[in-house]
Structure 1
Amino acid sequence: MVAPLVEPADELTIDEVRRYSRHLIIPDVGMTGQKRLKNAKVLVIGAGGLGSPALLYLAAAGVGTLGIIDDDVVDESNLQRQIIHGQSDIDKPKAESAAASVAETNPYVKTIVHNERLDNDNVLEIFSQYDLIVDGTDNFATRYLVNDAAVILGKPYVWGSIYRFEGQVSVFWAQEGPQYRDLYPEPPPPGMVPSCAEGGVLGVLCASIGSIMVTEAIKLITGIGDPLIGRLMVYDALEMRYSTLKIRRDPEGVLP
């Protein structure tokens, strides 16, 4: 268990109390936990396969501010798994389409749209606006960029990955445990690991992994439970098997 990531908001409105009533009666969440969710600022990187369920469930849970960064547009092939978008959203910017769905899911959530690619020039400035990062990216270059920026700023982030029938989830927070480079020290050679576009992914796997990522985010924000810091959860959908591996922290902890 780690300390709650954010302080509670001052109050919930009557409408918010009604909306979040099923959270409020859970002793571990309660009024204080829901106020922490309201006060939290979470950035979701990628409004794609993992970002779609993550954004919808973060919004439904009452996270007060959701940032969405994605520079892509909705393609018809996305709709098999990216449930935050619909047929009418084809050719629209993903970040804007996702923000509209978040508003429809929960009008009490503020969205900040970053309709741009995350890169070395903007990552520190963007990350500094948020308490927590949720990384749903599908390429190694961005994953290492996210990790290194989070380490520099001392930010925790929830990481997820999907491929065909397998998903992985962990929480990286250099101040509390391992970082992504402790799990994968260096990116694989270009072309060695196929992307979902090249190798495919079971659409519903995104929901399974995305919802676990949100569970971890809620635990970090509210300070409940035991987050996946120092552990890698692996899900095999074909065998319906979950396994957890320990991640060892590099005592040097040096960025390249």
Structure 2
Amino acid sequence: MTFIKLSISCAADFHEIFIAELAEIGFDTFEESEDQLDAYMASNLFQELAVREVIQRYKDLTQAKYSYTEVQKENWNEEWEKNYHPIEVEGKCRVRAVFHDPNPDFEYEIVIFPKMSFGTGHHATTYNMLSLEMQSDFTGKSVIDIGTGTGVLAIMAQKLGATYIEATDIDDWCIENSTENFGLNDMHDVPVHQGVIDELKLTRDKYDVVLANINKNVLLVEMPTYSSLLDTGGVLFLSGFYEADIEDIKNMAAAYNLSLVQTVIKDNWAALKLTKS
């Protein structure tokens, strides 16, 4: 499997804008330096025309140039591991790689193989979701993590007391990586399904909690499914969209009896907690 590494040279002020735009067209992993943004996606999903349209959209606001190369899975992973640093969330949770030493000062520590799966904790959406989770009660709950990526959100749910975890993703590498990470965190026999949520045969019909950190367009399309997976009183956690998108997400959710309870915002990215009435 190969990946596209897209490099955009632009002012740092526009990094978050381009991340949001690129996430909408399928890029799911990002690295930032002072004057460059690198974005990654599977080669078979890449469309240069879509990238060109994003760059053109902001041509009057910033001088942005892009280039891209195809990268082998193994080479990408080696580079990612070299540059991976632990993430600390709210002073309570630490997401670290297998090659970092434990730190007992944190109440929760999640250990992962830092592969190219989205959700290592570096992106604000994952940070926001972890923060929301730590403010919620998972004791004895059943949880499904849709678009699990690294599995970090599902692992956090288990550490917070969830007694049943299930996960899905469309990407084979995410399936492989999340399964590895579940094992690293003493979570065994976790059902992990590959495919679009509407097409999967899940283990259960209903869950107490649904987690979905994907992107705005997918969340809007899949909202009816999220609602159908929740019993009355069930909780839905959503992220993968900008603060400016909250109203669109909230309005769609309301159509399926989902009411906003809490909002977290970091770097203009949002995460929402909703309950089903």
TM-score by length of 1: 0.40
Structure having the higher strand fraction is 2
Higher relative contact order (CA 8 A, sep 6+): 1
